[in-house]
Amino acid sequence: MQRANDSISAALAVIGDRWSLLVLRGVFRGLHRFGELRDDLGIASNLLTTRLNRLVEQGVLEKVQYQDRPVRFEYRLTDAGRDLSPVLVSLMQWGDAHQMSGNAPTTLVHATCGAPIENVTRCTQCREDVDATAIRNTNDHQLETT
Amino acid sequence: MQRANDSISAALAVIGDRWSLLVLRGVFRGLHRFGELRDDLGIASNLLTTRLNRLVEQGVLEKVQYQDRPVRFEYRLTDAGRDLSPVLVSLMQWGDAHQMSGNAPTTLVHATCGAPIENVTRCTQCREDVDATAIRNTNDHQLETT
């Protein structure tokens, strides 16, 4: 990561505050209704409303009606929202390693085989795992013009 | 992610604000000095000082003296800081896909072979890539007591 990359700023403009990420964590965990999220997070209703509206606006969550009388809505991940899974998994993995002294309070497992999952950075060609020191940044436009 | 996981909250307590993540992005890109980071981010000096001090306190950055007269310091990633690379890579990947309409302004590549890298969630046992719908959460303590 040697040069500017605007994609990180753009991503953070959508989910770059602690509450938004905690709301998304809740929805990933199966909490879909306003009251469930409010009780889980201990967040003030007005703050939760702001975050949910913004996540819907940004296309990360969608508001779905689940009841007619009275009208009631719940919040579901869109495809773009589901694609945030690696961000939450990598945050959790880092928290396990560096904030919990390696004692993970919960473990994420692969549904089909039950073994723990891990978040890794990998080369698309040689398929090797790549650590931070082996990552370089290429500015595509620059390459095209040299 | 069906149940509470405190590691995400713990991670966000350290890096869960937009400025802290942008500061870390800068350091990963090779900006190590206060002035470089301030100019890159366009952040007020007092806000930058707060973020840097906090990241040092939390063990993510270290303050290293690089000059005697006058005394000057720079900021370097610790091992814990370097381990945040997957968080930034996954944020960038999501931004590329969902905020840049797939037109990545820069590409992260593998230093040794030059091919693009990707952030994936993988099963530690069957080695398959795992998408969000195939992730389950196991509470280790609960398992031990049943």
| A75 neighbors A90 (Cβ within 8 angstroms) | no
Which residues of chain B have a CB within 8 Å of the CB of A26? none
pLDDT averaged per 10 residues in sequence order, chain A, 146 residues: 63 88 93 96 95 96 95 96 94 90 84 93 94 82 35
Nearest partner of B106 among B131, B117, A70, judged by Cα: B117
Q: What's the token pair of residue A133?
A: 């020191």
Question: Which of B18, B25, B137 has the CB atom closest to A106's CB atom?
Answer: B137
Q: Do B123 and A108 touch (CB under 8 A)?
A: no
Q: Which residues of A touch B90 (CB under 8 A)?
A: 86-87, 89-90, 119
Q: What is the pLDDT of residues B13-51, one digit of tens each?
A: 888 888 999 999 999 989 999 999 999 999 999 999 999
| Model pTM score | 0.88
Element (H or E) spanning B102, and its range?
Answer: none
Interface confidence, given as ipTM, is 0.87
Burial degree of B70 (CB within 10 A; 0-12, 13-18, 19+): exposed
CA distance B64 to chain A (A): 19
Q: What are phi and psi of B86, to 5 degrees?
A: -60, -30
Burial (Cβ within 10 Å: 0-12, 13-18, ≥19) of residue A122: middle
Domain annotation for chain B: domains and CATH numbers = 6-145 (1.10.10.10)
Closest CB from B7, B92, B124 relative to A95 = B7
Q: Return d(Cα B83, Cα B61) in angstroms, integer.
A: 11
